[in-house]
Chain A
Amino acid sequence: MKHSFEDHTSTIPAVQEIPATPAAPRRMTLNMGPQHPSTHGVLRIVLELEGETIISAAPDIGFLHTGIEKEFEQKNWQQAVTLTDRVDYLANLSNNLVYALAVEKLLQIEIPPRAQWTRVMMTELSRLNSHLVWLGTHALDIGAMTMFFYCFREREDILRIFEMFSGQRMMTSYIRIGGLALEPPRGWQQVVGKFIKAFPSKVDEYEELLNANPIWTRRTKGVGFISLEDMLDLGVTGPMLRGAGLNWDIRKSEPYSSYEKFDFKVPVETTNDVWSRYRVRIQEMRESAKIITQALEGMPDGPWQADAPHVVLPEREKMKTQMEALIYHFKIVTEGFRVPAGEAYQCIEAPRGEIGYYVVSDGTSKPYRVHMRTPSFGNLQGLPKMLEGIMIADSIAALGSMDFVLGDTDR
């Protein structure tokens, strides 16, 4: 079936580019967004068209700017964790983690292995969550509607796991400075185990639906090319680079939160188009599932919070029986803890690429400055280059392959 379709369509000649002349102006400016379904948020792009070919694209961002960086300076260190959720609402645990790591760097506290492993497991679940939303909505844009329902079915399971751990489905704030917000709930092994055992077969289902789908392959293969040099120069990170043959993953190159103890591969594809980015993310889902399985099987015992009474809240029991614990509790709740003056930059590999938090402390109980280097902001800078010269119908596929979140871009 596939071959006959390919043969038939390959006989259709490509659209000829017609140069614009003053006598025959063929250019037009098209406004796309900010309320366009395939921009997945409020992104406006001004497209300069010649016929159906995009000559130039100018993204206009900022519609979702909520002043999170300013808000950080008003909250105390621990309260500010809740803001990190709202930056990238599909990878909230990654944002929790990078903020916690940056502040822990300044505080110089050691996180016990059990908390580290739980952090790894939770961020990998959040990577699955993010990739599933990406795959479902991206396929929906290109015309494979069924994918959306398949992906959101598994996403629902992940959100239930998040709810079980933290009490929240999306704005989890589960990873806190000094450890975790709560002890992992009783019986989590069964729930996560059941999900992760079934998950690889679900990925097989997605691939079955898409890999041989002639519409999917023709709309993704060879579409949305942007050279690796351009991407590096323009600040693009994450699966986009790995889809262009660069083997760079911060989990491997600068391991954090004991990622060095996990065995996983970094999937790399070389064709550098929408298809290769799809392949990279699908394989990343399989690798994440492996990491979660390893975390599940090898989860160390022990405390889930750091031994730092000036930072983490004491146990309820101790608080009611020990004077010192009560004092610490009172101090942390009323004024927060102080972080030694200094600055730190921490980056992690989020589902979309490099998230980096630059945290400055002046020694008080509130952050002096927190800057978020978000992957969507960097990635969107590569968009004009990627859209240049392609057909307008392909722009939807190209946009989707970038996997940006506008909350992450505008902050």
Chain B
Amino acid sequence: MTHPAILETKEAFGETTLIADPARIVDLCRHLKDSEKYIRLSGITAVDLHPSEPRFEVIYHLHSLDLNKRLRLKCRLSGAQPEIDSATGVWRSANWYEREVFDMFGITFRNHPNLVRILMPIDWEGHPLRKDYPVHGYKYSYPSE
């Protein structure tokens, strides 16, 4: 499989991982869906590598029913302003998956139709799955009774 957006290919435990160029991710997704038969997007998630840089990895799990194969795409994003193009135009299922990643990691998906929090309350501050987010949340000051 060759595509200009693929920077590196890795094999481990029988799973293939493609490291992709985040600038051309939509191109690559469309190619994989149309030409390589990866018609299902199983999920999108992210990993926070804080404090190293590039800080975030956005991970796409693809699945092809015809070939009975799975594929992992990985994009590395800088921590300063994590942004990547949305894959909603390729698979509609990306909609909620990307909202979850945005909610949990604060990664912005450009051209997403409705990029709002999905699991946390709409007015929540911070992104809970970032490594610098404390597990008990930020301290609250409770009004005295």
Do residues B120 and A378 form an inter-chain contact, with CB atoms below 8 A?
no
| Count of A-B contacts judged by CB separation below 8 Å | 85
A342 to B15, CA, bound (A): 11
Which chain B residues numbered 35 to 70 have a C-beta less than 8 Å away from chain A?
39-43, 45, 47-48, 59, 61, 65, 68, 70
Which chain A residues numbered 366 to 395 have a C-beta less than 8 Å away from chain B?
368-369, 371, 373, 377-378, 380-381
A380 to B97, CA, bound (A): 12
A241 → chain B closest CB, angstroms: 10
**Binding site of A, secondary structure by majority: helix, strand, loop or mixed?**
mixed
Do residues B45 and A233 form an inter-chain contact, with CB atoms below 8 A?
no
B30 → chain A closest CB, angstroms: 13
Interface residues on chain A, number (Cβ under 8 Å): 38
Do residues B65 and A371 form an inter-chain contact, with CB atoms below 8 A?
no
Interface string of A342-356 (1 = CB under 8 A from B): 111101000000101
Do residues B92 and A233 form an inter-chain contact, with CB atoms below 8 A?
yes
A69 to B121, CA, bound (A): 17
Which residues of the other chain, B, contact A74 by a CB distance below 8 angstroms? Answer: 135
A387 → chain B closest CB, angstroms: 16
Q: Is A164 an interface residue (CB 8 A)?
A: no
Do residues B15 and A344 form an inter-chain contact, with CB atoms below 8 A?
yes
Which residues of the other chain, A, contact B32 by a CB distance below 8 angstroms? Answer: none
Which residues of the other chain, B, contact A411 by a CB distance below 8 angstroms? Answer: 119
Q: Is B72 an interface residue (CB 8 A)?
A: yes
Do residues A347 and B42 form an inter-chain contact, with CB atoms below 8 A?
yes
27 pairs from A and B in contact (CB 8 Å cutoff): A61-B119, A62-B119, A65-B120, A70-B128, A74-B135, A232-B65, A234-B93, A235-B40, A235-B43, A235-B91, A235-B93, A235-B96, A235-B97, A253-B68, A347-B42, A347-B70, A358-B61, A371-B43, A371-B59, A373-B43, A373-B45, A377-B96, A377-B100, A378-B93, A380-B96, A410-B119, A411-B119
